[in-house]
């Protein structure tokens, strides 16, 4: 046993080995202690008992985690070794010929350590490089056997383990979370009949209709090749040059310029399979299907000024939010819904269901809820799980099949291909996070990094030496839907694909006034970063085909005259089925979570009333919100009355943009009054349309910040004195998420 108390180690005893031969030959054992019982061999979310969560967190229940057990490592109480298991006597110095002599080539220990380090990185994903993942499960509501034989939909209450990765698209792995961008929403279902990857996005349409254009799109949006700027941004010449020449992008651009592109949280965005897929039942009958994930947390977004500030204050904003919610046992949930469409119905639509730049409006085909997704466990290791997870659009299971969407066709090829270079060979399916729970038996062999030790001499089929095994599963296996195909080879697209504007218009007119204003402002901002006037003009010409008022606002914002509308490729023959779709507004899905996991800053400084702070904290915690005491500095704060206040954040380390609401309690608090950052804090809360409560003497701060004391503003609560009902009033206003009625462009404050 080693005495690890501070007294026993007045300095790092190991370091003594730096001096002289004697210690180098026999260095003392380093100090070590057994890990505390609660965290032995586990991450926080596995043991579920942390100072932060207490015992409240639900037990994680993901069978896909069990196979990871075999590869988990835990160094508690263990000695250092090489990769060959050879114990290391010393880990401070390279082997030298004499203390001042040259380092020796035969130092296999140094060389192994450095060599491994040299190869620690793998190529980042070409798109969706930055992401965060979590384990969980999918729970099916009712048997869906009428439509699909997929195992996960076979019985009521059936649970299938999942791993989910959310991502941004354009930014590199170390970029920021709150860029204006599409978000990936990739789900790996470890089903009884193999892995199904539903690799979707948080927007239901895409920029292009045909895989042929994907490399062009990605080259256009990525940092420009000569100077590698800008990072994680579409606001630059090459992106707008490309999309303004691609009218099929228009619908997606409306989504990208909307608040959907700056979600408040990964937990608060919808997910979509985007393409039309097929369900196939046991009798072989097929139905077109579109997949929708709807967050129980509601669909909520940031505002642009806030997103920009968050990228500086906390580039890991979404990653942290997901991690912390799961650690706290506030497990995010989504409902999976399907739109089921017969082939005949699809043929009659004014648009083509094989066109990924179109939605099937919910008003035309309602969404049937089929199950729920729960994320209840954080990964043990980011690299092993979140980085190495390999989603593949080609991974379908019996009961789920592809449609002829030409964008999907390219994806079926691309994902497997990219994993081969990203994960270094064809055996990426053996990486524990990718390995199916269903047994894998085939005659594929060898390759880089093969883990499986195949027994026997048979690696071919048919065989008799292996008893004919593994054998073909016949109709129990994956049988492709036998879609009749007999046409001339042609490079082209169906005619309905050529109508590019009506659904962009549908999206725009279905937004609330605040959302519409944000779209216009986003186009203005992005195009103002475009240095080539002809590109801006072309984009304006395209917007004229969407909505003239939108085009006009953007033109005004750019100081440009409205150009002639861009000529259309086609005049649609049939009338659109739906001309207004309330479901497309973020406001349509406020969610059931209320204020759960919402972060509230309670500003405190010497002279604050401790009792009211405690009452506020209690009420917020009870409602599931996350109160933080924010002071001019962290640490203890003098208060009036009994009780101690400990500021856990400061105006410096957690600025306004990181909070959903602010409370300035009663009390003189002179340190707040002389701190310019307090006014900035309040101004940003106001500008970002957040919920604010100011009590007693603190209300005068509003005036100092130039904030109008508007009593009709539902998010601006002012009270001359503390009253017991105040916390509840604040919580009700916070549950409204944002108070856009106060918003002005340009901002008032
Ligand atoms: Fe992807 N996409 N994509 N994509 N995509 C990749 O695969 C690709 C598309 C999506 O968290 C890559 O493993 C092509 C649509 C997500 O790991 C790559 C085309 C949708 C993720 C690739 C598309 C997506 C990717 C990069 C057009 C929404 C991240 C690394 C034909 C339905 C998954 C990798 C994760 C990742 C190719 C278009 C979603 C290169 C060729 C449409 C969520 O294979």
Distance 411 CA to ligand 1 centre (A): 7
Instruction: State pTM to two decimals.
Output: 0.94
Across the range 66-88, mean pLDDT stands at: 87
Q: What is the pLDDT of residues 190-233, one digit of tens each?
A: 999 999 999 999 999 999 999 999 999 999 999 999 999 999 99
What percent of the chain clears pLDDT 70, i.e. is strictly above it?
92
**Rounded to 5 degrees, what are φ and ψ at 16?**
-60, -25
Structure tokens belonging to residue 63? 């069978």
Rounded Cα distance between 525 and 519, Å, is 10
> Does the pLDDT at position 40 exceed 50?
no
Across the range 277-297, mean pLDDT stands at: 98
Rounded Cα distance between 224 and 235, Å, is 11
For residues 33 and 433, the model is more confident at 433
pLDDT for 325: 96
CATH 1.20.1370.20 assigned to domain 503-588? The reply is yes
For residues 32 and 459, the model is more confident at 459
Residue range(s) in the chain whose domain bears CATH number 3.40.50.880 = 599-742
CATH architecture of 599-742: 3-Layer(aba) Sandwich (3.40)
Across the range 428-436, mean pLDDT stands at: 96
> Does the pLDDT at position 502 exceed 50?
yes
Rounded Cα distance between 213 and 198, Å, is 22
Across the range 312-319, mean pLDDT stands at: 98
Which atom of ligand 1 is the closest one to the Cα of 389?
17
Distance 186 CA to ligand 1 centre (A): 9
Chain centroid to CA 504: how far? 25
Would you tell me how many other CB atoms lie within 10 Å of the CB of residue 699?
17
Assess whether the C-beta atom of 545 lies below 6 angstroms from ligand 1.
no
> Comparing C-alpha atoms, which of 277, 220, 288 is closest to residue 253?
220
> Comparing C-alpha atoms, which of 625, 576, 610 is closest to residue 737?
625
Which atom of ligand 1 is the closest one to the Cα of 210?
31
pLDDT for 738: 97
> Does the pLDDT at position 17 exceed 90?
no
Structure tokens belonging to residue 414? 């691309």
Mean pLDDT, all residues of the chain? 92
pLDDT for 535: 98
Distance 392 CA to ligand 1 centre (A): 8
Task: Pick the residue whose CA is nearest to atom 32 on ligand 1.
Answer: 200
pLDDT for 629: 97
> Does the pLDDT at position 67 exceed 80?
no
Q: What is the pLDDT of residues 711-736, one digit of tens each?
A: 999 999 999 999 999 999 999 999 99
Across the range 100-111, mean pLDDT stands at: 95
Assess whether the C-beta atom of 538 lies below 6 angstroms from ligand 1.
no
Structure tokens belonging to residue 233? 């941004």
Using an 8 Å Cβ cutoff, are 31 and 6 in contact?
Answer: no
pLDDT for 64: 75
Residue 47 — very low, low, confident or very high, per pLDDT cuts 50/70/90? very low
pLDDT for 350: 97
pLDDT for 57: 37
Assess whether the C-beta atom of 539 lies below 6 angstroms from ligand 1.
no
Task: Pick the residue whose CA is nearest to atom 11 on ligand 1.
Answer: 165
pLDDT for 50: 39
Which atom of ligand 1 is the closest one to the Cα of 133?
11
pLDDT for 494: 95
Residue 356 — very low, low, confident or very high, per pLDDT cuts 50/70/90? very high
pLDDT for 684: 98
pLDDT for 7: 52
Rounded Cα distance between 662 and 689, Å, is 11
Rounded Cα distance between 361 and 213, Å, is 25
Structure tokens belonging to residue 161? 């383990």
For residues 61 and 538, the model is more confident at 538
Identity of the highest mean pLDDT range in 55-64, 334-343, 477-486: 334-343
Rounded Cα distance between 703 and 354, Å, is 56
Which atom of ligand 1 is the closest one to the Cα of 272?
32
Across the range 106-126, mean pLDDT stands at: 96
Chain centroid to CA 429: how far? 23
> Does the pLDDT at position 4 exceed 80?
no
- The three-point CA angle 685-688-689 to 5° equals 85
> Does the pLDDT at position 8 exceed 80?
no
Assess whether the C-beta atom of 291 lies below 6 angstroms from ligand 1.
no
Q: Which residues are catalytic?
A: 128, 201
Assess whether the C-beta atom of 214 lies below 6 angstroms from ligand 1.
yes
pLDDT for 77: 87
> Comparing C-alpha atoms, which of 329, 339, 388 is closest to residue 364?
339
**Rounded to 5 degrees, what are φ and ψ at 248?**
-65, -15
Task: Pick the residue whose CA is nearest to atom 25 on ligand 1.
Answer: 128
| CATH number of this structure's domain 131-430 | 2.40.180.10
pLDDT for 13: 54
Across the range 298-324, mean pLDDT stands at: 98
Residue range(s) in the chain whose domain bears CATH number 2.40.180.10 = 131-430
Q: What is the pLDDT of residues 72-82, one digit of tens each?
A: 888 888 999 99
Question: Locate tokens 């005949």: which residue?
Answer: 344
Strand partners, 168: 183
How many alpha carbons fall within 13 Å on the CB side of residue 326? 28
Residue range(s) in the chain whose domain bears CATH number 1.20.1370.20 = 503-588
Assess whether the C-beta atom of 716 lies below 6 angstroms from ligand 1.
no
> Does the pLDDT at position 3 exceed 90?
no
pLDDT for 379: 96
Across the range 301-312, mean pLDDT stands at: 98
Rounded Cα distance between 718 and 131, Å, is 40
> Comparing C-alpha atoms, which of 372, 446, 15 is closest to residue 162?
372
Assess whether the C-beta atom of 199 lies below 6 angstroms from ligand 1.
yes
pLDDT for 486: 86
> Does the pLDDT at position 708 exceed 70?
yes
């Amino acid at each position: 046993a080693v005495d690890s108390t501070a007294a026993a180690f007045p300095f790092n005893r190991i370091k003594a080995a730096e001096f002289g031969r004697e210690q180098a030959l026999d260095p003392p054992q380093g100090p070590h202690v057994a890990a505390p019982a609660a965290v032995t061999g586990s991450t926080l979310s596995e043991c579920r008992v942390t100072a932060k969560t207490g015992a409240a967190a639900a037990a994680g229940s993901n069978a896909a985690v069990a196979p990871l057990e075999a590869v988990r490592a835990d160094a508690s109480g263990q000695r250092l070794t090489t990769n060959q298991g050879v114990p290391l006597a010393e880990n401070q110095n390279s082997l030298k010929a004499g203390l001042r002599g040259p380092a020796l080539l035969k130092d296999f220990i140094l060389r192994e350590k450095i060599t491994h380090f040299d190869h620690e990185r793998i190529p980042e994903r070409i798109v969706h490089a930055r992401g965060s993942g979590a384990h969980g499960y999918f729970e099916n509501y009712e048997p869906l056997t009428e439509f699909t034989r997929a195992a996960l939909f076979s019985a009521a209450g059936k649970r299938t383990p999942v791993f989910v990765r959310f991502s941004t698209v354009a930014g590199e792995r170390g970029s920021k979370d709150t860029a204006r961008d599409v978000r990936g929403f990739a789900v790996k279902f470890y089903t009884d009949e193999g892995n199904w990857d539903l690799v979707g996005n948080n927007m239901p349409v895409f920029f292009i209709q045909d895989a042929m254009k994907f490399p062009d799109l990605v080259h256009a949006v990525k940092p420009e090749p000569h100077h590698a700027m800008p990072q994680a941004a579409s606001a630059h010449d090459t992106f707008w040059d490309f999309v303004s020449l691609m009218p099929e992008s228009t619908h997606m651009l409306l989504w990208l310029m909307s608040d959907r592109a700056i979600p408040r949280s990964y937990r608060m965005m919808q997910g979509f399979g985007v393409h039309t897929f097929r369900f196939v039942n046991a009798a072989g009958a097929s139905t077109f299907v579109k997949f929708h994930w709807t967050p129980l947390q509601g669909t909520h977004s940031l505002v642009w000024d806030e997103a920009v500030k968050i990228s500086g204050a906390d580039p890991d904003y979404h990653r942290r939010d997901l991690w912390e919610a799961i650690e706290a046992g506030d497990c995010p949930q989504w409902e999976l819904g399907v739109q089921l469409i017969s082939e005949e119905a699809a043929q009659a639509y004014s648009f083509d269901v094989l066109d990924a730049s179109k939605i099937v409006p919910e008003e035309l085909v309602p969404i049937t809820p089929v199950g729920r997704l729960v994320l209840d466990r954080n990964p043990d290791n980011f690299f092993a799980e979140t980085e190495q997870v390999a989603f593949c659009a080609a991974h379908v299971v019996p009961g789920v099949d592809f449609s002829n969407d030409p964008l999907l066709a390219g994806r079926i090829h691309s994902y497997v291909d990219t994993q081969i270079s990203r994960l270094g060979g064809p055996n990426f399916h053996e990486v524990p996070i990718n390995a199916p729970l269903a047994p894998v038996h085939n005659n594929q062999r060898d390759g880089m990094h093969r883990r499986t030790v195949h027994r026997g001499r048979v690696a071919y089929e048919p065989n008799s030496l292996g008893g004919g095994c593994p054998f073909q599963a016949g109709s129990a296996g994956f049988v492709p839907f036998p879609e009749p195909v007999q046409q001339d080879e042609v490079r082209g697209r169906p005619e309905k694909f050529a109508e590019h504007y009506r659904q962009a218009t549908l999206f725009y007119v279905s937004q609330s006034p605040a959302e519409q204003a944000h779209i216009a402002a986003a186009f203005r901002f992005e195009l103002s970063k475009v240095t080539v006037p002809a590109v801006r003009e072309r984009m304006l010409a395209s917007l004229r085909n969407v909505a003239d008022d939108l085009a006009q606002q953007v033109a005004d914002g750019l100081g440009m005259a409205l150009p002639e509308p861009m000529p259309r490729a086609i005049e649609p023959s049939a009338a659109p089925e739906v001309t207004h779709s309330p479901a497309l507004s973020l406001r349509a899905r406020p969610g059931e979570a209320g204020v759960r996991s919402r972060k509230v800053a309670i500003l405190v400084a010497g002279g604050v009333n401790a009792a009211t702070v405690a009452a506020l904290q209690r009420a917020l915690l009870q409602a599931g919100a996350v109160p933080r005491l924010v002071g001019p500095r962290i640490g203890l704060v003098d208060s009036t009355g009994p009780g101690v206040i400990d500021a856990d954040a400061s105006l410096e380390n957690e600025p306004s943009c990181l909070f959903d609401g602010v409370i300035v309690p009663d009390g003189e608090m002179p340190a707040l009054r002389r701190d310019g950052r307090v006014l900035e804090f309040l101004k940003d809360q106001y500008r970002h349309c957040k919920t604010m409560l100011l009590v007693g003497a603190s209300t005068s701060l509003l005036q100092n910040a130039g904030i109008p004391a508007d009593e009709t503003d539902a998010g601006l609560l002012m009270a001359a004195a503390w009253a017991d009902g105040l916390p509840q009033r604040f919580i009700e206003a916070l549950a409204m998420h944002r108070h856009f009625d106060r918003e002005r462009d340009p901002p008032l404050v």
